[in-house]
């Protein structure tokens, strides 16, 4: 109850801010109008912020218990594949060390990282998911979130925020405070949706072309039927500036795909979108498949992976009187 109230308070604060939290720009335009609110995009850094409508209601739980199995069936193999690449990329910087995965879900990254020799700890807000990751898989996972991560003792060599920042009402303060948990040569790894990815662009174009009538593709991207929907979508400029502003130096960026093309049936089931007819489903799946393929050719991926290190004091960021 208390936590829910707190979330509503912060959602309200998010809603009332008028300048861009990343670049302080004041020019923005509305790019989407949905049942649960609207999305504004900063004209300077292209950050998209979702403004939740007053009184909009959200379901209580992030994971519907019946759908946990489906969620794992779809995301498990997909995430293990993307996290295998991620661990390889990390090892170009750090061979081993202490890993903190905030919002670790079923612990797919922890599994891959532990196998590669890292010492791992995961925090996950969902009790049911913690039980699966810890009790069934024997992973070092505790119930917790970004706020509890800030209170952990000791320092971590790698902190991962995979698909987490977009859910937080004020991710920019969290990024800054997390620095206190990162070792001096540590790596902060963030994975966020890319508003300039091809699937995102096509979804916005379709919404615009239909005079805001076609809303469900954007509702899927924003996860508006989840109690913790996406409140932000980032451009590469926006996430780079957010990290720099929070006191980090970006050292590596790459793009990755957002859907598992060979399991689109499952993805649609996860997104509660099985109510349409079979022909529509096939049409949508083929559309997504083409968009993602073309996105790969032209390098417009729908997810961005960024590595950042704490800025050194002489990196040029001197607050106030120098």
Residues that bind Zn ion (CB under 5 A): 20, 22-23, 25, 42, 44-45, 47
Of 15 and 44, which has the nearer Cβ to Zn ion? 44
Of 86 and 165, which has the nearer Cβ to Zn ion? 165
- Which structure tokens are listed for 174? 């969290």
N- to C-terminal Cα separation, the chain:
46
Output the smallest distance, CB 21 to Zn ion, in A. 8
Of 167, 166, 149, the closest CA to residue 158 belongs to: 149
d(CA 267, CA 79): 13
Q: Going along the chain, which residue ranges are E strands?
A: 28-34, 37-42, 48-52, 98-102, 119-124, 141-143, 156-162, 182-193, 232-233, 248-256, 303-310
Output the smallest distance, CB 267 to Zn ion, in A. 31
Output the smallest distance, CB 166 to Zn ion, in A. 15
d(CA 194, CA 206): 17
Of 132 and 238, which has the nearer Cβ to Zn ion? 238
Of 159 and 238, which has the nearer Cβ to Zn ion? 238
Of 25 and 247, which has the nearer Cβ to Zn ion? 25
Output the smallest distance, CB 243 to Zn ion, in A. 14
Output the smallest distance, CB 246 to Zn ion, in A. 14
d(CA 58, CA 8): 11
């Amino acid at each position: 109850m208390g936590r829910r109230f707190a979330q509503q308070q912060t959602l309200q604060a998010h809603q009332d801010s008028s300048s861009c939290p990343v670049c302080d720009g004041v020019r923005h335009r509305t790019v989407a109008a949905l049942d649960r609110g609207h999305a504004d995009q900063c004209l300077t850094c292209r950050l998209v912020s979702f403004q939740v409508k007053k009184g909009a209601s959200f379901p209580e739980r992030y994971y519907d218990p019946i759908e946990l199995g489906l969620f794992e069936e779809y995301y498990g193999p997909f995430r293990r594949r993307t996290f295998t690449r991620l661990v390889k990329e990390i090892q170009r910087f750090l061979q081993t060390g202490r890993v903190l995965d905030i919002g670790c879900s079923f612990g797919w990254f922890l599994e891959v990282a532990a196998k590669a020799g890292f010492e791992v700890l995961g925090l996950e807000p969902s009790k049911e998911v913690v039980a699966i990751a810890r009790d069934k898989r024997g992973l070092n996972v505790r119930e917790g979130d970004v706020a509890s991560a800030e209170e952990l003792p000791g320092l971590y060599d790698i902190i991962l925020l995979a698909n987490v920042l977009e859910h937080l009402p004020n991710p920019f303060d969290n990024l800054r405070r997390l620095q206190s948990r990162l070792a001096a040569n540590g790596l902060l790894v963030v994975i966020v949706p890319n508003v300039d990815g091809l699937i995102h662009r096509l979804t916005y174009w379709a919404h615009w072309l239909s005079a805001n009538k076609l809303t469900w593709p954007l509702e899927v991207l924003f996860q508006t039927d989840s109690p913790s929907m996406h409140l932000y979508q980032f451009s590469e400029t926006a996430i780079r500036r957010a990290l720099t502003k929070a006191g980090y130096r970006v050292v590596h960026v790459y793009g990755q795909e957002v859907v598992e093309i060979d399991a689109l049936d499952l993805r649609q089931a996860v997104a509660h979108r099985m109510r349409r007819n079979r022909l529509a489903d096939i049409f949508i799946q083929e559309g997504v498949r083409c968009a993602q393929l073309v996105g790969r050719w032209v390098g417009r991926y729908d997810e961005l992976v960024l590595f950042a290190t704490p800025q050194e004091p002489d990196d040029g960021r001197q607050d106030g009187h120098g």
